[in-house]
A and B are shown apart, each in its own frame.
Chain A
Amino acid sequence: MKEIVQIEKLLCEYAPLMARIAATFEANKSLQDELIQEMSLAVWRAFEGASKEGGSSFRGEASVKTFVAKVAHNKAVDHVIKEQRRQEFTHEGEFDSSHTTSTSSSRDATLQENAMDLMTGLRQLEIKYRQVLALLLEGFSQLEIASMLGIKESAVAKRVSRARQQLTQIMGQQP
């Protein structure tokens, strides 16, 4: 019971993180919601498994946030493989600004526009570039990203550089 409460707290805390990852990989709002739920379930199962193994799944993880982000990214990639709709959501998907958390009227309109451009731009990047940039924007260090993706830190640096170039180019082309 205590474990369930802990996992619930964890899901509450990291729901925005999972939602951002889902939005990076899926533009369609209803599919995004499905993906967030799949991520939550995967996180739940992963934590259950980790506690059964005495927390061995966490060994080597920098933080719970890293662990959640890794599971969520895996689920997102899995979703992309399954749905095979990457082409659809890079071209057809429209960012729905009504679903953002920024409801306060004091929010800067330009910032909203930037957010929209950024998400649309991110979704146009190749998955490998999208992943590193999304994790970097989430505030993870290159070392943490390397551990989550299972690649070398130097490879992360290269991808980040390419991803930034491509995103700058894409956002420059957007109206």
Chain B
Amino acid sequence: MSEEGLNVSKNTSSMSELDEQLAQWQSAYKEATPSVDTDSLIKDTKSARFKLKLKGAFDLALGLAVSVWCLTLVLFEPLTAYQFFLFSVLTPIPVAFGIWGYWVRQKQWRAQTLDVQSMLSFKQIQLQQQLHYWKVSLYGCVALWCGLLALAIFNVLMFDTYTLWGAQLLINSVVVFVVYRRYKKLAADLPAALARIDNMK
């Protein structure tokens, strides 16, 4: 037999060994199917789906109720100019927040139907956005704390109300600290989290 013929024969034999191995693995893989109680699975899935829908509806209804309450105050209650401005600004926020939450949840669900690479990229963007939200929250908290500090200084100097403003500053300092710690932790963990997802791609 020629050398070429021998090579072809070797390749064919090696291919058939690979196919045999794959067939064995496929059979073993099917054999390893964990038992599933489908009735119970469907029941649990239905229940989980119902709870999710209920939670979504509750969030939306709560937001709507708060907005309607604020709107009622603005339209039907005698308010000072300051109160009128405050409630006018507050009115759309809860319902907008509820709608935004619904939109985010829908987006997350849709991500599950993407191909795996796109879903992983979506996860990476989500992690980066999460850090961005915490950064914005931190800036917001610091800005509020600074505003509170200015008010506290003014009130302490004018009215000697040390305890009240001191307590408010202290409580808000704790909030700022917690938000800062959370932001720092997320920022420190982000590169490793992104790298882990990259490894899955």
Complex partner residue of B112 from A42, A80, A107, A136, CB under 8 angstroms: A42
Residues of B within 8 A of A80 (CB): 200
Contact A36 B112 (CB under 8 A): no
B115→A37 contact, CB < 8 A: no
Distance A115 CA – B31 CA, assembled complex (angstroms):
6
Q: Are B120 and A139 in contact (CB under 8 A)?
A: no
- Most interface-central of B31, B33, B44, B49 (chain A CB within 10 A): B31
Known: A41-B45, A71-B112, A77-B119. Contact between A137 and B25, CB under 8 A?
yes
CB <8 Å contact, B112 and A37: no
A167 to B25, CA, bound (A): 10
**B201 near A81 (CB under 8 angstroms)?**
no
Tell me if B14 counts as interface (CB < 8 A to partner A). no
Residue B26 is within 8 A (CB to CB) of chain A in the complex? yes
- Answer whether residue A151 sits at the interface, using C-beta atoms and an 8 A cutoff: yes
Per the bound structure, the CA–CA distance linking A143 and B26 in Å amounts to 18
A126 beta carbon closer than 8 Å to chain B: yes
Interface string of A72-114 (1 = CB under 8 A from B): 0111011011001000000000011001111000010001101
Chain A proximity of B201: nearest CB distance (Å): 7
* Chain A window 122-142, contacts with chain B (Cβ cutoff 8 Å), 1 for yes, 0 for no: 000011100100101111000
Q: Which of B28, B42, B114 contacts A111 (CB 8 A)?
A: B28
In the bound complex, how far is the Cα of B197 from the Cα of A11, in angstroms?
29
Asked if B118 CB lies within 8 Å of chain A CBs, one says yes
| Chain B 10-46 per-residue mask, 1 if CB under 8 angstroms from chain A, else 0 | 0000000010011011111111111110100110110
Chain A residue at minimal CB-CB distance from B197: A81
Residue B199, interface by CB 8 Å: yes
- Tell me, yes or no, whether A62 is within 8 Å of chain B by CB: no
**With A99-B35, A149-B115: A36-B41 Cβ-Cβ less than 8 Å:** yes
User: Is the CB–CB distance between A150 and B28 below 8 Å?
Assistant: no
Contacts of B28 in A (CB 8 A): 111, 114-115, 117-118
Bound-state CA distance A45–B48 (Å) is 11
User: Which chain B residues lie closer than 8 Å to A55 at the CB level?
Assistant: none
| Chain B residues in the interface with A (C-beta under 8 A) | 18, 21-22, 24-36, 38, 41-42, 44-45, 48-49, 52, 109-120, 123, 196-197, 199-201
Chain A residues with a Cβ under 8 A of chain B: 8, 11-12, 15-16, 18-20, 22-23, 29, 32, 36-37, 40-42, 44-46, 49-50, 57, 67, 70-71, 73-75, 77-78, 80-81, 84, 95-96, 99-102, 107, 111-112, 114-119, 126-128, 131, 134, 136-139, 147-151, 164, 167-168
For this complex, 17 residue pairs linking A to B, each with C-beta atoms less than 8 Å apart, are A12-B42, A16-B33, A37-B44, A41-B49, A67-B113, A74-B113, A74-B119, A77-B116, A78-B119, A107-B31, A115-B29, A115-B31, A139-B26, A149-B117, A150-B116, A164-B18, A164-B21
